[in-house]
């Protein structure tokens, strides 16, 4: 039976990879896309999410979500990574469809209530919609199968500060609510995504096998790869958001460690995902009754990229 997922997203080039990956996976049933600010504004994220459904010819609802962080001032959108359009400035035509007349948080609550215990939320951006859904329905956490999120870092350096990853930094207060809620969270952060390099040879083969989605991904990824190549002297890009889809398809690709995660919400370390390994006790009350998060620390890069290419082709 296909695993039911909601994808919470801020498309975003690597979001596009993840969403197409999920649409193509027979193991997954995408129930809807919910959008947030992050890589772009929520208005553009919503438009981009609809564009992806139309390219893939997939009929799933898109619900627009949070506009700004819960507490902190909004950070600038990283157009130097994703382009002003979120898709590498490729000037793709605007979509014809519209978002549904329901907020992202309400869509999450209603869908989880419709399929209690069956829905996995795959979060690819800042976590404001998940936090808002928890506030709308305090019993929600007990009805969700799993939350699989791309964000954070346990021991790897950050990518927007020495200790912080971008999705968490964009809304640290929301992230702390998500990590401390009583549901199963799996964190796929920079500890593993920095171990996987996607290069143009894979994208070229996908483009040949699957021209509709493959051509779009190839075009928008050139901007993304140029950013990584110029910053890190690498021939390709890190495999961030799509790693979540590989995890929900085949968790055996990853090695996980259990521990409590809290998020620093102020000061020089704002946005840091602080990881307290299972079995270690600390006198600070900040760690009392914090649920265990599965933190991905190892990944079979070859197996992951093969799964992506095979599924997309």
Q: State how far the Cα of 93 lies from the Cα of 142, in Å rounded to an integer.
A: 41
Phi, psi of 178 (to 5 degrees): -70, -45
| 242 sits in which H/E element | helix 242-249
Cβ neighbors of 46 (< 8 A, separation 6 or more) are: 35, 62, 64, 99
| Tokens found for residue 144 | 């969700």
Within 10 angstroms of residue 57's Cβ, the number of other Cβ atoms is 9
Active centre residues (catalytic): 10, 240
How crowded is residue 34: how many other Cβ atoms within 10 Å of its Cβ? 32
d(CA 10, CA 101): 18
Among 305, 296, 294, 295, smallest CA distance to 239 is for 305
Looking at residue 94, what DSSP letter applies? P
Radius of gyration of the chain (CA): 18
Residue 276 and residue 289: Cα distance in Å, rounded?
Answer: 12
């Amino acid at each position: 039976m296909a695993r039911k997922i909601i994808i919470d997203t801020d498309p975003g080039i690597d979001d596009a990879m993840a969403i197409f990956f999920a649409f193509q996976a027979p193991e997954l049933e995408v129930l809807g896309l919910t959008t947030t600010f992050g890589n772009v504004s929520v208005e553009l994220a919503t438009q981009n999410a609809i564009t992806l459904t139309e390219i893939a010819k997939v009929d799933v609802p898109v619900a627009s979500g949070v506009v700004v962080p819960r507490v902190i001032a909004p950070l600038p959108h990283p157009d130097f990574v994703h382009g002003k359009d979120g898709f590498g400035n490729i000037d793709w035509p605007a979509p014809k469809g519209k978002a549904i007349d329901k907020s992202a948080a309400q869509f999450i609550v209603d869908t989880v209530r419709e399929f209690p215990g069956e829905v996995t939320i795959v979060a690819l951006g800042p976590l404001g919609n998940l936090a808002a859904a928890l506030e709308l329905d305090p019993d929600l956490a007990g009805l969700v199968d799993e939350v699989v999120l791309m964000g954070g870092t346990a021991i790897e350096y950050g990518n927007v500060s020495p200790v912080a990853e971008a999705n968490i930094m964009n809304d640290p207060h929301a992230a702390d609510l998500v990590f401390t809620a009583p549901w199963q969270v799996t964190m796929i952060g920079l500890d593993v995504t920095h171990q996987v390099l996607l290069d143009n040879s894979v994208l070229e083969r996908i483009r040949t096998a699957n021209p509709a989605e493959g051509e779009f991904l190839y075009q928008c990824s050139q901007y993304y790869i140029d950013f990584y190549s110029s910053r890190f002297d690498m021939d390709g890009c890190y495999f961030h958001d799509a790693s979540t889809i590989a995890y929900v398809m085949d968790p055996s690709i990853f090695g996980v460690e259990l521990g409590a995660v809290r998020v620093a919400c102020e000061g020089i370390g704002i946005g840091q995902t602080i990881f307290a390994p299972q079995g270690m006790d600390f006198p600070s009350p900040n760690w009392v009754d914090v649920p265990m998060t599965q933190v991905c620390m190892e990944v079979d890069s070859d197996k992951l990229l093969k799964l992506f290419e095979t599924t997309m082709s």
